[in-house]
Amino acid sequence: MSLSRAFFAIIRRDVLLAFRYRAEIANPLLFFVLVITLFPLGIGARPQLLQAIAPGIIWVSALLAAMLSLDSLFRSDFDDGSLEQMLLSPHPTAVLVLAKITAHWLVTGLPLLLIAPLLAVFLGMPQTAIGVLLLTLLLGTPTLSLIGAIGVALTVGLRRGGMILSLLVLPLYVPVLIFAGNAAAMAASGLPIAAQINILAALLLLALVLAPWAAAAALKMSMN
């Protein structure tokens, strides 16, 4: 099998498995929706306050939802032995890891991106800021999956690695959260956002180049 066929075969397999076990798709999405809808109940009827903090609410909720789904990235493959077969494959492990990260984003990140506009309207965000919010999610959520894959690869062999995983990846998520939330907030105020978008794009490219190799190396360490 050629490398490209192996890449797309892994994506197809993981997406089909996710649709077979729909809880993997529903849990992060429901968490994302519930956290955002609870904020107005806790804050009260303050439209101006909700509009001001809406980008931060949506991005913090997206970050937590992404972390909630991270552990499933390699766990099932580790349990059934297919992860070991992937490491023994003649194809570069980093490319196969990138395929799994892509499938993970399609299953968890893309649904968040699709439902975010409705939640932004629910929180009263202006129309000019919603497009920027979607752009930050499009650039930021793949970065979260790429960075999170490194932490998952380091902890995949641990039975209770959830807390360690959170401690590993959360500090690395902070720059994405800061620049993405700030871009949406500045767009709502009519201020320029080119610098924040460029930084998010640079973070995505950097993670796209480095994260699969780091995750592949971490998987080999965890399996030894």
Q: Which domain holds residue 202?
A: 3-223
Amino acid 69: pLDDT: 81
The average pLDDT across 121-128 equals: 85
What local confidence, expressed as pLDDT, does residue 75 receive?
76
pLDDT > 70 fraction of the chain, expressed in percent and rounded: 96
* Section 53-58 average pLDDT: 88
pLDDT at 147: 93
Instruction: Out of 20-29, 72-81, 170-179, give the one with best mean pLDDT.
Output: 170-179
Q: Which residues contact 65 (CB under 8 A, 6 or more apart)?
A: 28, 29, 31, 32, 35, 108, 112
**How high is the pLDDT of residue 185?**
85
Name the residue type at position 201: A
Q: What is the pLDDT of residues 155-166, one digit of tens each?
A: 887 766 667 778
How far is 224 from 221, CA to CA, in rounded Å?
5
Taking residue 11's Cβ as centre, other Cβ atoms within 10 Å add up to 18
Residue 137 pLDDT: 93
Distance from C-alpha of 10 to C-alpha of 107, rounded to nearest angstrom: 13
What is the predicted pLDDT for the residue at 204?
95
Q: Which two tokens stand for residue 195?
A: 């610098």
Distance CA 212, CA 203 (A): 14
Please report which helix (H) or strand (E) contains residue 161, including its range.
none
- In degrees, rounded to 5, the angle at the alpha carbon of residue 89 between the alpha carbons of residues 203 and 2 is 80
pLDDT band per the 50, 70, 90 thresholds, residue 134 = very high
Least confident of 36-50, 117-131, 135-149: 36-50
What mean pLDDT comes out for the span 44-67? 85
Counting the structural domains of the chain, the total is 1
Look at residue 1 and tell me whether its pLDDT is greater than 70.
no
Give the separation between CA 148 and CA 150, rounded to whole angstroms: 5
Question: Which pLDDT band, with edges at 50, 70 and 90, does 224 fall under?
Answer: low
- The pTM for the full model equals 0.89
Residue 200 burial (C-beta neighbours within 10 Å; 0-12, 13-18, 19+): buried
Max Cα distance, the chain (Å): 59
Q: Mean pLDDT across the stretch 135-144? A: 93
